[in-house]
Amino acid sequence: MKLLICTPEYPPDYSAGIGNVAYKVVEQLKKLGAECIVCSPNAEINLGSSKMIAKMGIIGLLYYWHQVSKYFKGQENDFDTIWLHNPLFLRDGSFQRSLITMHSTAYGLAVQKINPRIYYKIASKIERYCLNKMNEKARFTAVSTQVCKELEEIGISKQKITYISNGVDTKLFKPSASDDKKSLRKKFGIPEEDLIILSLGRLTEVKQPQKMIEVFSLIEKEIKDVTLVIAGKGELLGKTKDFVKQKKLNNV
């Protein structure tokens, strides 16, 4: 089986959730004998610009997908399936044998009024236009039931959407032995009797880490012996630390 994977981010270049998921699945597909061709900024087929995407957002993404459409025009039959991650084709760039994975939607972020609000409002309109132009034979997967709902709300037929959550690499993430748990608690100064709430992921505007801190401050008032552990980096790491100090929380 020969697969084409098109994603706007992919390791070892800057990569967040989309790129990490694509990379992990591609590596497993290769082990099963599939031939995987990756198209991404700085991948084996180098299209678009990760710097443009980082600086210009939706403009950089549209440029990347335009490059994909242009580069692979007439080559669709060379692949058994084309796997697209959050595609945005303004013009005729969709493929018949394509599987579209949506990790999130700009529409959902706009509805939640995530900042910058104007940006996501504009991005959601572009997204709605692009996704509803996809080939009739294309099928969608979404990483959460919420994303499934958002796709339906922007006009994608429910019959075309399948919910497939992100997987977990059990070689990396697995229960620790009791002694390991004790040593980890000691290393990070977490009392042995404390209940631990774990937040794992990038600290970005989309994840709303300040709201998480606000909610935890309320939980702390109702439940004793609880610690919030935040594991992740991101552009809001500094602001999140400052907000914890502002709320005078010692168990974060």
The greatest distance separating any two alpha carbons of the chain, rounded to the nearest whole angstrom, comes to 63
What's the pLDDT tens digit per position in 92-127?
657 888 999 999 999 999 999 988 999 999 999 999
pLDDT digits (tens, 9 = 90+) for 194-242: 999 999 888 888 888 999 999 999 999 898 899 999 998 888 999 999 9
| H/E stretch holding 19 | helix 17-31
3 state SS of 108:
helix
pLDDT digits 0-9 by tens, 64-82: 999 999 999 889 899 999 9
What's the CATH number for 2-163?
Answer: 3.40.50.2000
Helix, strand, or coil (residue 85): strand
Residue among 150, 140, 91 nearest 120 (CA)? 150
For the residues of 110-158, what is the DSSP string, one character each?
HHTTPSSHHHHHHHHHHHHHHHTTS-TT-EEEESSHHHHHHHHHTT--G
Whether pTM > 0.75 for this model: the answer is: yes
Q: Boundaries of CATH 3.40.50.2000 in the chain?
A: 2-163
Residue whose entry in the numeric block shows the structure tokens 């004998």:
33
